């Protein structure tokens, strides 16, 4: 494999994971803050708020996993090495 392609693949994999984690991390923090605020306002709605929060966490975390899949593809099944 060309050393430049290998180096670029490693850098791209790091950027893919890093950038894919920034958005969901900020989103999870914001969602958790608003969920706590909503539960403080209406304690009787805790079950519904918690359910919606956990579902949204799962969707946000899937974006990070997509970034990890792209990084693993660049490292181990590199389409540019050939």
Taking only the tens place, the pLDDT of each residue in 29-39 is 999 999 999 99
Average pLDDT for 8-31: 93
Average pLDDT for 40-54: 96
DSSP H helices in 1-45:
3-41
Here the tokens at position 31 are 């969602």
For residue 9, what are the contacts with CB-CB under 8 A and spacing of at least 6? 74, 75, 78, 80, 81
15: left (phi over 0), alpha (psi -120 to 50) or beta: alpha
CATH architecture of the domain with range 24-75: Up-down Bundle (1.20)
The span from the CA of 8 to the CA of 4, in Å, is 6
Question: What's the whole-model pTM score?
Answer: 0.77
- Alpha carbon 1 to chain centroid, angstroms: 30
Residues found in the chain: 82
């Amino acid at each position: 494999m060309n050393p430049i392609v290998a180096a670029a693949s490693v850098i791209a994999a790091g950027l893919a994971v890093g950038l894919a984690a920034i958005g969901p991390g900020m989103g999870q923090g914001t969602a958790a803050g608003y969920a706590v605020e909503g539960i403080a306002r209406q304690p009787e709605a805790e079950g519904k708020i918690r359910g919606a929060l956990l579902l949204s966490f799962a969707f946000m975390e899937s974006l990070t996993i997509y970034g990890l899949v792209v990084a693993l593809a660049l490292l181990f099944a590199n389409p540019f090495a050939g």
